[in-house]
Amino acid sequence: MNINTILIIGSGAMGSQIALVSALAGYRTVLQDISFQALEAAVASLRERMDRQVAKGRLERAEADAALGRLHTVTSLEEAAPEADLVIEAATEKLETKQQIFAELDRLAPAHTILTTNSSTLGSSMVAAATGRPEKVCNMHFFNPALVMKCVEVVRHAHTSDETVHAVMELARTMGKSPVLLNREIPGFLANRMMGAIRDEALALYDAGIASIEDIDTAAKTALGHPMGPFELMDLVGLDVGYLIREATYQQTGDEKDLPHPALAELYAQGHYGRKTGRGWYTYDSSSPTAAK
């Protein structure tokens, strides 16, 4: 399949970085968000990131400029969807919002367009049902920070065609990623299931007063070789994202052990979402993060 234009929906941390990954890989990339301000902020942050890469000698100025030149922003889906060959939806992790977007995309995009979702919890069957092209729908799940992390989980649902799977796996490879394929939907996919087990144990140890947040993170790094501890990682991904993931998982499984952890729910209710708000498990108002408690 010939992919020229990729449409990314949602200019949050994931959507904006995925858009830059796409532009760097040579695709004409359109980043859509209903908020003009959010788009402006996203592009400014991507420009800064590219400038740092150029300053560090990791990227040629011309290459960075060419990528940014391939990246376009738009607020209207009506304008963006008709020219897209493939869509990566990275909007908020709410089913109704995603279903509305997929119904709109199905109406507006050409018949050949593949529709993917970056959702980490909602299997694409839930949004495919809102379209008349379920065979062209699957999950294409990137990891945070999307510019750096190599893994992309491609998850097929019962009606995703082999052609769609092949095209999305190939696209991920062209983007310099190492895609993994899930043959059927399962809540949490692969990586979040494994990460969840570690995070739950870290929370249990903290709850029981066995060790501090910093020491639990330190052990994960120095004993297990993880690049970040589980609390640092929750702050990086966003406690809002973590909270909504648990809520969505609970909705699917009905298992109370999947509910958001009480301490996480408390931080979420207080609007402490991690790095993006300057406070989560740690505070980020100084050069090095310190435990918030």
Q: Just list the catalytic residues.
A: 120, 141, 153, 192
Range 163-199 burial, b when 16+ CB lie within 10 A, else e = ebbebbbebbeebebebbbbeebebbbeebeebbeeb
Is residue 145 involved in binding ligand 3HC (CB under 6 A)?
yes
Binding residue (CB under 6 A) for ligand 3HC from 63, 72, 100, 144: 144
Q: Which residues contact 34 (CB under 8 A, 6 or more apart)?
A: 75
Among the residue ranges 94-102, 103-111, 144-152, 197-205, the one whose residues contact ligand 3HC (CB under 6 A): 144-152
Is residue 122 involved in binding ligand 3HC (CB under 6 A)?
no
Cis ω for the linkage preceding 145 (within 30 of 0): yes
Instruction: Scan for tokens 């870290």, then name that residue.
Output: 202
Q: Which residues contact 107 (CB under 8 A, 6 or more apart)?
A: none
Q: How far is the CB of 55 from ligand 3HC (least distance, A)?
A: 10
Among the residue ranges 67-75, 143-151, 157-165, 209-217, the one whose residues contact ligand 3HC (CB under 6 A): 143-151
Binders of ligand 3HC among residues 204 to 263 (CB under 6 A) are 227-228, 233, 237, 241
Is residue 154 involved in binding ligand 3HC (CB under 6 A)?
no
Which tokens belong to 160? 């995703």
C-alpha distance across the termini of the chain, in Å:
52
Is residue 192 involved in binding ligand 3HC (CB under 6 A)?
yes
Which tokens belong to 167? 């095209």
Q: Contact 171/205 with Cβ under 8 angstroms?
A: no
**If binding means CB under 6 A, how many residues of this protein chain bind ligand 3HC?**
17
Is residue 116 involved in binding ligand 3HC (CB under 6 A)?
no
x/- mask, ligand 3HC, residues 45-84, rule CB under 6 A, reads: --------x--x-x--------------------------
Which tokens belong to 149? 């992390």
**What residue ranges bind ligand 3HC (CB under 6 A)?**
53, 56, 58, 120, 143-145, 147-149, 192, 195, 227-228, 233, 237, 241
